[in-house]
Structures are given as C-alpha cells and as structure tokens.
Chains A and B, each alone.
Chain A
Amino acid sequence: MNRFCEELTALLPRLRRFARGLTRDAADADDLCQQTIERVLKARNQWQEGTRLDAWTYKIMRNQWIDETRARKRRSETFGREEEGTNVGSAGHIDAENLVELGNVGRALARLPDEQREAVVLVLVEGFAYKEAAEIVGVPQGTLTSRLGRGREALLRELGEAA
C-alpha cells in the first residue's frame, strides 16, 4: 500500500469524528465519509506532498457536506415541507429521538448554525490553528475567529456550569 493510502487509512477515525460533528447524525456521517473518500481518491494527484493531508481531506469533506446540504435544501423547497422551515440553513431537522441521544453537549452543538458549529469543531475538537481552520473553510481568519467566538459564547451560555 502506498504512503498516501496508508496516511488516509490512519486518518479515518478522525475523519469520522469530523463528519459526525458536521452532520450531527451517525448515518449521514457514514455516507459523508464514503463520499469524501471517493472524492479524495479521485483527486489524489492534486494533493501536494509535504502539505497536510488531514487539512486537505477535511476541506474536501466540508465541501461535500455543503453540496449535500444545498441539495437537501433544494429538495425540501421543491416539496415545500413546512416543518423544514424552522431549520433554514442546516441539513434538515433532527428528530426528537436523536436529540435525546445526543445529550446536553450534543444538543447544544447541534443547535448552533452550521458555520459556527464547523468553526467550533475544527478548532476546539480537531485542534486546528485559526489559520488552518480558516483555510479549510475558505474564509479569512477574522471571519473564522468571529464565527468561533459566537459559537463558543452560545455554547458557554447554554451549557454554563454543566460544561
């Protein structure tokens, strides 16, 4: 097995964690992982040796998820499902059962707007530096830190002493 594939395989546990953080749903996260690996393998000659494979792969995963959420939004608009209206800008509603399973922390995280949630997950969970996280998301560093700040504030407010 070549080095690229070895590194990618070693990355799988973390990729699955990031996918779970992005999607908030285990089945969606598994689908997202599979789609991401497909994209990554197809694009692997675009990866520059010596750069971070994790950041590159996260970026592909994140873009894949954006595509998926847009497609779902279009579908829900097409079918005019009103209950989706309460969740504009996110991947779709999470049903009550999932919310119970998520626990306090998961619920608070799930309620964040997508862009704040991804900033929080990239920096606080995945441990990327601001600069790297901004590069993955494709925004200026100031935008990234402001999203992170708002997300973190909301979580601290919601979880308070429990956190």
Chain B
Amino acid sequence: MSITEEDLMAYADEELGAKEAARVEAAIAADPALEERLAAERRLRTALRDHLRPVVDEPIPDELTAMIAAAAQVSTPEAALEADDRKIVSLATARATRNDHTAAQPSGLRQQWRSGLAIAASLVLGVVLGTQLHPGGSIVQKDGMLVASGSLSETLDNQLASAQDDGTDLRILTSFQRKDGDYCRVFEAVPTSGIACKTGGSWILERTSASTQRQTSEYRQAGSAESALMQAAQEMARGAPLDRVQEEAARSQGWSR
C-alpha cells in the first residue's frame, strides 16, 4: 500500500486515526525517502514557529489591555444594554440640560457632572465614525506613560468643552482640576476615549477606554465607556467641573496650574 504526500502530511499534523497512523509509520520505517520528507516537514514547522515566536514575547500594547479592561467594567452585555437605555438622551433634552446649566445653578455637584454626559449625547447625526485615532499618531508612549500628541494634543490645548461644533470626531466632554491642582479633560473619540491631565507640559493619559458610543437615527446614546470615564473624572476631581469662564482662563495659561 503506497503512502501519498497527503497521508504523510496528515500524519505530521496528527490528523490520522490510530490505524491510519500505524500504517504510515510502518511505511516510513521501510522507506528512508519518506522519513526524510517527514523530517523536512518538521524542520519547516519549527522554522515557522521560530520566525513568529518573538511576537508572542513582545509586551502587549497598553491600548489593547485598556480596551478590554474598560469593557470588563460592565459586567454583562445585558447590563450594558440596560445602562445604555437609561442614558438615551434626545438632542433637545441635551440642549435643555446645557441651558439649565448656564441659566440656573443646578443643585449639587452631581447635576453639574451630568452635563458632560449630555454633551457626549449631543453629537450631531450623520458624523462619519470611521475616523480613527491612530495609535501611532495621536497617542504615543513615553517613559511608560501614554501621552497625547498631534491632533489630540492640539484639541486638548485649544478646544473648550462649552463651545464645540457638533460633528467633530474628537470631543471634549468636560474639564476639571484634579486634587493636586493639575487640569484634566475628558475626551471622546473613536476608537479611544479617555482622561488626559496636563503634567509637565504634556497631556498624560490617565485613563483610556474603547469608545462605546453608538448612534441611532434620532437618539444618540452615551456609551458605557464614556459614562465610566465621567464617573472616574468625578472621583478624581476637586470640586465641580470648570465652567466656560474657568475653562477660558485655564486655556489662556496653557492648562498649567
């Protein structure tokens, strides 16, 4: 009984049943040429694995683990959906919330923090969500920290949360001072949202998460990642988020304390 090349390779790939494998083994034992072909196949397999092995040992980029960690904060997909349902904000409501915020001082801190979410929820319809924050472009790694660069850094420097165009790919949800006095800003972009604090002249990313915002035709839902970020910002902050006047003042001094 002759052994085909396919038989031999299936044997090497451990795809044969015991009986078939025994037949191939017997043939190999009787034929040095078959034995050499099998040995060549095994050398190839080792060479391929060796070629790709270094990738397995490389450190995992922070973005990847951060994306998964952010998703893990929401325990189950069902819980995420329910949470999202509660967060559906119509455009009109979002505007009203913002107006309230400037007209009458809302009651307590919690109310003020809500406006950031309302901004997150007020993005104009029809925006192209395909634009990416390229990991090599807008977020770079420096001394083990993630640092904003390029357009992200520029937007963090210049854009006021209280005055932005609808339909931009990158939005500032809120600005605040954390407990040590550094200025921080919550931003929302696809695929990465986060909190950046101006430290030593750079915007250091204190937190990143995969953006989970979604759009429907009439409503925009603030994603679970964005609300988790707002929650985190609230915990980091000293007092209320900055209002428009405070933001302008902070911007004019380059966000340094």
Residue B56 at the chain A interface, CB threshold 8 Å: yes
Q: How many A residues face the partner with a CB closer than 8 A?
A: 44
Question: Cβ of A56 < 8 Å from any Cβ of B?
Answer: no
Does chain A have a CB within 8 A of B45? yes
* Contact among A12, A17, A27, A129 for B52, CB-based, below 8 A: A17
Q: Is A31 an interface residue (CB 8 A)?
A: yes
Do A105 and B51 contact each other (CB < 8 Å), given the known contacts A2-B75, A129-B15? yes
Given the interface pairs A16-B60, A30-B135, A156-B44, the reply to whether A130 lies near B9 with Cβ below 8 Å is no
A-B contact count (CB 8 A): 110
Using C-beta atoms within 8 Å of the partner chain, give the interface range for chain B: 35 or more
Would you call A98 an interface residue if the criterion is a C-beta within 8 Å of the partner chain's C-beta atoms?
Answer: no
Q: Do residues B60 and A12 form an inter-chain contact, with CB atoms below 8 A?
A: yes
Q: Are B64 and A33 in contact (CB under 8 A)?
A: yes
Contact A12 B64 (CB under 8 A): yes
Q: Does B72 contact A (CB under 8 A)?
A: yes
B interface residues with partner A (beta carbon < 8 Å)? 5-6, 9-10, 13, 15, 40-41, 43-45, 47-53, 55-58, 60-61, 63-65, 67-69, 71-72, 75-78, 134-136, 191, 210
Q: Pull 25 A–B residue pairs with CB atoms less than 8 Å apart, ordered by A.
A: A5-B69, A12-B65, A16-B58, A20-B52, A27-B136, A30-B135, A31-B134, A34-B64, A34-B67, A34-B135, A41-B71, A44-B71, A45-B77, A105-B47, A109-B48, A109-B51, A121-B52, A124-B13, A124-B45, A129-B15, A149-B9, A152-B9, A156-B44, A159-B44, A163-B43
